[in-house]
Structure 1
């Protein structure tokens, strides 16, 4: 079994998420130790548990050490099966980080997946929903990943309460992808999302953003 030190480099949750997804793709068991060891709240957080539990459910994988706060996880991959699945991260755990893990693992899927995840859509230390939908997904589409997103409700810290659906289609072939040139854009679009706040808050945010971009002729 491969063993990976989860405290290597930045030592964040990305090591864990990538390790278990690649374990599923390559059919090679993996143990991740010292998970987030140097973080103020080391070990597994809710979104990590949900991401791994989701992979476990869609593939009948065997997992040891899967609980919030656990410093070590062993993952014995199974075979991904299609179907519809619903998971709740709990409170404001990141939905987008869960989806990131699943999209990587879906490269090994032979049948479509329908995923419904509840949690936080726009929370600290994770990609916002708009980044995930408008930047990340178009980028990975170049390697063959086919997924649509349906945001039902946003969820913010600390209550969460967000919901999103994502159908994932099997990838027939994983394509190479290389960025060779960058385009220059003169227009920026954005969304201001608020929850249980008066409308003037969103107007103030919009005013500050527009004021920032005006000197750049955008």
Structure 2
């Protein structure tokens, strides 16, 4: 990584979306080289090209150059303008892959975001639409972004998709709030949704029963909703999945989700997701690993004040380290980790992540 003529240079395809979002928010041009240059199929994948098209559509004045082999791109960001549009997502990724970065841009746009996404609504390894509603929207509210909606009009299961999701962001803000979260939340309730498309509704009940049998020992109130989709709104493929969210009285949430694959049993899926949720709770601080990147983005573009979040040491993984390196490269701000002196519920693995905001202001709104 280096800076040549005001262009920040990155290598590889890691954090592709994040680098483009950071570039858009900072107004700094970036160049990404050696994108899968050693692979049998080098260069950008179809979903990355699709994301670039989406980014170009929600901004005005952005300039994107892609090399002949697709292994190098130069991105010069424009102004975030938002507006109404429809985006067809490739079935190699779920719509969550595209919605998540849009949530980081939408509050700082010139016009309100009103986007319809077509494609897969849930896919293993990607953030699903339910996890976005229950996991990411509450985090955005903590930073002052309160009027975002996500409507699932059609469910689209892998492999053929056919889902339709409507994202609306009605609130435009100049700067995110600075947050200080130094207490680990106590979770009092577990919510969830088990869904199925083009299969027997009994599959949903089997997932709910197996998840409840695991979660009843937690002492929390458990409420898992059945969501059965039929006909045109059920997409093009049969499928099922479950999303669980542990909720505290102050609105903090931890998420676990899974999508059924070929030959997987609904009972196994419900039980696995319940155990994953319990593990996430024990290995998370105030926020889960689903939400930590979004929290860092909002902290870095906040007021020139230091924001602090209590996290668990197990949340410091390769993905977080790469993200913090990219933040430092573009914004020049480093994260500071401080070990906690006292134990919390017998666990001494909690640390405080501190980040100083860079005083970002919503230029797009000012022009509007």
What's the TM-score once normalised by structure 2's chain length?
0.52
Q: Max radius of gyration: which structure?
A: 2
The SS at the match of 1:53 is: helix
Structure 1 counterpart of 2:133:
133
> Whose strand fraction is larger, Structure 1's or Structure 2's?
2
Q: What is the DSSP-based 3-state SS (H/G/I as helix, E as strand, rest coil) of the residue aligned with 1:187?
A: strand
Say if 1:46 and 1:93, in contact at 8 Å, map to a contact too.
no
SS in 1 for 2:195: coil
1: CA distance between counterparts of 2:216 and 2:28?
52
2:20 alignment counterpart: 20
Counterpart of 2:180 (choices 178, 202, 210) is: 178
CA drift of 1:20 comes to: 0.8
Going from structure 1 to structure 2, the CA distance change for 1:90 and 1:105 (only over 3 Å counts) comes to same
| Structure 1 stretches lacking a partner, 5+ long | none
Change beyond 3 A, Cα 1:208–1:166:
same
TM-score, normalised with respect to structure 1: 0.85
In structure 1, what is the equivalent of residue 64 of structure 2? 63
Task: Note the 1:64-143 alignment, pairs <5 A.
Answer: 64-65=65-66, 70-91=70-91, 93-143=93-143
Pair 131,36 (structure 1): closer, same or farther in 2 beyond 3 Å: farther
**How far did residue 66 of structure 1 move?**
8.6
In 1, Cα distance between the equivalents of 2:17 and 2:177? 22
Task: Judge which range, 169-178 or 123-132, deviates more.
Answer: 169-178
2:201 counterpart of 1:199: yes
What is the deviation of 1:107? 4.6
Please give the alpha-carbon distance, in whole angstroms, between the structure 2 residues aligned to 1:111 and 1:118: 22
Unaligned runs of 5+ in 2: 1-6, 221-368
Which whole-Å deviations, capped at 9, do the CAs of 1:102-138 have from their partners, x for residues lacking one?
1222354122121111111110211121111111111
